[in-house]
Structures are given as C-alpha cells and as structure tokens.
Structure 1
C-alpha cells in the first residue's frame, strides 16, 4: 500500500519571513499538527505544534528560525517506509513532493485511520512504554514544565500515592503561563498552539511583568485535567486508536487489567512504531505474569511457543504475547489461572485461552488450543468481519518486508 490513498493535498503553508505570532495562531485549529514552511516556491521544512510550544522565541521572530528539516516523501512511497521515516525523525507530519514541489502532506493520524481495523493483531502489552514518567498534584507548574521538556514528552500523568488523579500536557502548561497579565513587547492574542482543557486560546507571549514566575510556582493540581483516558494493558491496538480519536488525545495511560494501577503510557508514536516491526525482531515473546509460573522461566515459555509453531511447516512469529491472570478460586491450595496466548505470524493472527489450576497447566492448555488452530488453519484475524484479505496481507507485509 502506498500513501497516494491517504495523503492530503490540503495543508497550511507559511513563508519563511512570517512572524511566529501569526504561525501560532494557525494552531488554534486543534487538528493541525504541523505547518509547511516555504521560500517562494521552494520547500524549506516544517514547524510542529509541539516544537512551537516548546520554543522560547519571541513572537516577532520569523518562522524560518524554527524550521525543522524532516524527510520528504514521494506520492507513491510505501506506507511502511513512511512510518519508519516518521519514527526516525520524530515527526507526525511529512511533506509529499511531486517534481520537487509540495503536493501535500501525510500524517500519522491518516496512517492510523487507514490501518485501524487491522490493528487487533497487536495489544497494548506489545507496544506501550513501561517507563511511566509522572508528577504529583503538589509539584509546581515550573518543575512540571521542566520535567516535560527534559523527558521529551508532551503528556504527564499526575499520581497521588498510588492513585491516578489527573493528567497535564505541555500545551496546558504553555497556555496557562501565557494567559492574561500585561505584555511588554511582541504581545499576541494567540498562544503557541495550546490545547487547554477549555479548548480556547488565551493571552499572548512576551514578558509577564512578574506574573510568569508566580504562575510557575503554583501547584500543578490547579492546572491538571482530572479526566484521564486510560486503556487496559491487554486491549488491542485498534481499540487504542479508536479511543484516541474519540477523545482527541495522542496518549493513553495504561493500567493493569486486574488492579487498575497505572503501569505505563501508550502514544500514537508507539502505535506507529508497531507498524515497523521486523521479522528478525527478537524479544518477540512477551510474558505478563511470569512470576506465576512454577517450574518454568522466560526461556521455557519461548521454547514452548517455538515448539508449537514449528510443527506446522514454515512459520515466522513476529510477536507473541502471553498473559497469565490468577483468580481467587483454588483447588487444594493451587489457584485457578487463565492463560491467554496471542500470536502474530506471517500466516495470520492466532489467539487462544487456557484455564487450569496452576499457571503452567493453564499455559499448556492454551498452547494446545493454539496448536489445534494451526492444524485447522484458523486465524483470529481472518475471522473478523471487518478484515479484508488484501488489507490484512498489507499489514503483515509491512512487518515482514524490508
């Protein structure tokens, strides 16, 4: 699949001499991720919402000073290669050239929308970041801003003890600290791309005559949103993308299935990166609940998966996710355990459950169920009503080609 089917010929363009204050006003359109910068008819680069929000330039500065040189792509570029370029350049919008002139743009959202029905082959467990950078309700807004910038992230969960109580974004902080107060030189009515909770833009830039320092000393609980969108660790990625689009957010806090405890975060970039997985990626087997297994370690689980898949001819396992959940029910002191195996392979997507007393017993029952599916040639991915055979092949092709 190439990007000709998903690129957009509608994009926002500015000349290199345009003041940043005018460019910032364009980002009041909440759906806009980046603008294209040109010098006459010549393409120069892009400026993203996040880049502008993170900058400390005066609004009278020209947009040419903030240009980011991201890769350009042709109209017939393969979608998988475009996702690689997005990950490599940390950009969610890439310009599309036609005979060295800007023809349009391709965005991460467009790619995710195109592949969303087929992302059920991968789960949050496979793709999310387990390093959860967070703050507390009493942390100052200034320290929170520094943490966001130093960590290179745009969203920060707010945790009080063990409880997830809110979330704050880089755009919230920038909007808040540029709101109200008297401005010295270069004031503007538009903020640098704020995505505040109220959805409006406030204030401008320039000196705050002391207001800025006072605002930065306030606790982040004054600013955070107490509505946090979460997703279960076992949820499929198509559900993740659907939730992101529904709530107009670019990240979700990941919670443990049983306890609801925040354990990580998943972003649109994480989902996009899943499309670049290679056949030779090792650490292909991921196990959640490994400590429940008695008499088996990670290598034993990997060997079991290899044994199951090697019995039925040539098969490459791209990703294997094994999840073990312990129930309260017991028999002679041994807990009832649910084992769930999900396999993404070059022959399709397979999933099976096994329930037994003891994790090892449950895992072997699930493995036997997967074997039976392999023998019958049945895949979960092919049984989904919305799955189209050609599109399914495209999805696996992105993982396997290259």
Structure 2
C-alpha cells in the first residue's frame, strides 16, 4: 500500500532566509502544523508549530537556523516505510519528491493514519499501548511535569486526583502555555491568543480549565504553577482489548493525540498516535536504509558494496547514524572505452545532518566514489543541509524545553 492518494500539494513553504517572525505568522492558521523550508528550488527541511513554540528566538532570526530536517519520500513509497521515517526523524510531515528530486507535495501523519485505520482492526490497543504508566497529581508543578517528560522520554501524562482520572497533560500543553505567558509578560499578545494562532496541539482537543489571564513574572513562577492550570480535563479513554482502528477513530473524533487505557475502571496505560505509527513498522519485509534508484546502472558494483561505502564514510565520524541514504543514478549517452558516463546523486540523512552531493564518472562505481568524496568533505566542514533528530534523545529534550529550565 503506497501513499499516492494521500499526497497533497496544499502546503506552506518559506525560503531559508525568511525571518522567523514571518514564518510564525503563518501559524495564525490553527490547522497548520508545519511548514516546508526551501533554499531556492532545493528542499531544506521543515519547521513545526511545536519547534517554534518551544524555542527562544529573536524575531529577526532566519528560518535556516531552526530548520529541522525530515527525510523525503516518493509518492509510491510504502506506508510502512513512511511511518518508519516519521517516527525515526520525529517529523509528522514528510516532503514528497518525484524521481528527479523535485518537491511535489507533502504527506502528514494524520493522513497516513486515516488511510490505514480500516486495516487496524486486527490489532488491539493492548498490542501497542504503553503499560508503564506514569502519572501526576493536579497540584504538582509544571516544572515537575517537564522533569518527568524528560526523565521518562514521554510526551503525555495522565493526571490523577484522589484515585480518579482528572485530566491529561501533554508536552504540547506545557510548551504552549509557558510560551504564551512569557510573551504576555513581555508585553506581547494581551488578547489571549498566541502568535502561532491559538493553542498548541493539546492532548484531546477539548477545552482546558480556563481563565489564565495575563500573568506577569518570570519563568520560575510559571514553572511553579500547578499542572491543573494547563491540563486537559476532557480525557479520552479506551479499554485494552478494543480494536486499534476504533481507538484511532476516537482520537480523531476528540481532535487529540492520545487515549488513556483503562482496565477494570483503573488507568492502566496510554496509547498515542506515535504508538500507532510505530506499529505500522512491525510487519512486512525490513527496508534497507540505503535505497538505490536506477539500480540497473550498477553493472560494475553491487548493492552491498554501495551500502559498505556509505557505512565506511559515516563510520569515520564516531556516533554518526545513517537514517536514510538515497542514491539516484543516471546514465548519459557518452562513453569511454565502452563504459558509460554516469551521474550519481546522493542524499544522506543522518542524526548529525543532511548531506547532498552529486558527481559524474565513467561507471557507477567511479561516480559514487566521487560523490561520496564530496559528502565526506561536507561532513568535515560541517556543511549540513539541516539537522536531523532521531526519536527523542537527551539533546532533543534539552532543545525542546531546556530554555525554560535553564533560563538561557
């Protein structure tokens, strides 16, 4: 099953030189979750609502400084592979390119889930949910919630009061609230709507305990506020044995991204949209991280030798991890002693950045070696085309809300 029918050309794009303040203005549209960042005709990465809300930046700062690289896919890509890339790069919007590398649209995590929902009835909620449930009390502080998010590498926390489920708080809730209140205390946005166009995506889409008002004060005071000020009271729940398709449909009906799993009327776990995306990667043949397009042109080299070449380049740089390598080969009519001139174009997506290089040589092996030499020079010089992040690690969490904790 591919993504052909869910690719949309209706997306918002900005050049890398666009001021962050202008990019932020696009998020006045509450339905917009991310924008595409380009450098001329070249795709660079994405910027999400959450990134902008969770980062301290100057209005004159340019989009290139905040770009978050998301791997590209083709419209014929299998849904399982798209899900794997979304989870691996922590991006729920992926640009879609044609075989020539031209950007033709985007695919979103929500659209992907809607496409596969009818096929999820063979999986139960218990198969994908997390049963290591971590909770908070409503009187515990926003600072404590941030600490728990970071310590347990999670993004949703049920809130329990006297043994009952009182609400749920997400990392999105906390970041959206604290960002909004700091802007107000600095004299901006007195009318109650943040500069990104309202609430950051919360965990259920329903109304929160309202009436925050304009709070003056510093971040320390905000972090000392109770989570009941920011939690969502209307919580979606689901039983562990319920078919997963019904759980996903309920998330969409609520407009949220999680459901609390209840067994014998007691909170027993939590299931999120990301859990469902991860489940899509469980079945089917494992996809290789190195993809070669134009594989018919590799008469003088094997796929395994190409994969080894990629690994050898990245192995030189310690903990660099390859998320995806896309190699396009194109054969020209020109030949030398019967060997055709080949153009090799490499897109290398790693946890240290996104690297692009191309070169020509007689034979695929020669062309690939020349292109990889260019990639290696880019790595040495730090000429990344954007930062890629794998599933949340320590650095990710520091970027996500370290400013609130350190005041830097």
Structure-1-length-normalised TM-score: 0.61
Q: How much has 1:157 moved relative to structure 2? A: 1.2
**How many residues are paired up?**
275
SS in 2 for 1:73: coil
> Which whole-Å deviations, capped at 9, do the CAs of 1:119-147 have from their partners, x for residues lacking one?
11100011111122322111112222333
Equivalent residues of 2:38, 2:45 under 8 A apart: yes
Equivalent residues of 2:207, 2:234 under 8 A apart: no
d(CA) in 1 for partners of 2:218 and 2:3?
A: 47
Equivalent residues of 1:46, 1:68 under 8 A apart: yes
Query: Structure 1 pair 92/181, CA: closer, same or farther in 2 (3 Å)?
Result: closer
d(CA) in 1 for partners of 2:24 and 2:132?
A: 32
Query: Structure 1 pair 260/144, CA: closer, same or farther in 2 (3 Å)?
Result: same
Aligned position for 1:138: 139
Aligned position for 1:234: 241
Q: How much has 1:275 moved relative to structure 2? A: 1.6
Query: Structure 1 pair 147/59, CA: closer, same or farther in 2 (3 Å)?
Result: farther
d(CA) in 2 for partners of 1:181 and 1:240?
A: 37
Aligned position for 1:263: 268
> Which whole-Å deviations, capped at 9, do the CAs of 1:212-236 have from their partners, x for residues lacking one?
3322211112222221111111110
d(CA) in 2 for partners of 1:45 and 1:134?
A: 35
Aligned position for 1:41: 41
Aligned position for 1:360: none
d(CA) in 1 for partners of 2:19 and 2:258?
A: 31
Equivalent residues of 2:207, 2:233 under 8 A apart: no
d(CA) in 2 for partners of 1:23 and 1:224?
A: 28
Name the Cα RMSD after superposition: 3.1
Aligned position for 1:124: 125
> Which whole-Å deviations, capped at 9, do the CAs of 1:183-232 have from their partners, x for residues lacking one?
26999950486236559xx99xxxx8624332221111222222111111
Equivalent residues of 1:35, 1:46 under 8 A apart: yes
Equivalent residues of 2:141, 2:224 under 8 A apart: yes
Aligned position for 2:261: 254
> Which whole-Å deviations, capped at 9, do the CAs of 1:39-90 have from their partners, x for residues lacking one?
1221100122333333233444222111111211112212222122222222
Aligned position for 1:361: none
Aligned position for 2:200: 194
Aligned positions of 1:323-342 closer than 5 A: none
Aligned position for 2:220: 213
* Segments of 4+ moved more than 6 angstroms: 184-188
Does residue 225 of structure 1 match 2:232?
yes
Aligned position for 2:52: 52
2:281 paired residue among 276, 283, 286: 276
Q: Structure 1: where are the runs of 5+ without partners?
A: 282-402
d(CA) in 1 for partners of 2:105 and 2:35?
A: 11
Equivalent residues of 2:30, 2:196 under 8 A apart: no
Query: Structure 1 pair 22/167, CA: closer, same or farther in 2 (3 Å)?
Result: farther
Aligned positions of 1:1-400 closer than 5 A: 1-98=1-98, 99-177=100-178, 178-179=180-181, 181-183=184-186, 190-191=195-196, 194-195=200-201, 210-256=217-263, 259-278=264-283
Equivalent residues of 1:21, 1:190 under 8 A apart: no
> Which whole-Å deviations, capped at 9, do the CAs of 1:80-111 have from their partners, x for residues lacking one?
22122222222211110122221101111111
SS in 2 for 1:136: coil
SS in 2 for 1:113: helix
d(CA) in 2 for partners of 1:31 and 1:235?
A: 29
d(CA) in 2 for partners of 1:68 and 1:168?
A: 25
Aligned position for 1:334: none
d(CA) in 1 for partners of 2:252 and 2:60?
A: 34
Q: How much has 1:278 moved relative to structure 2? A: 3.2
Q: Structure 2: where are the runs of 5+ without partners?
A: 287-408
Equivalent residues of 1:27, 1:49 under 8 A apart: yes
Equivalent residues of 1:35, 1:47 under 8 A apart: yes
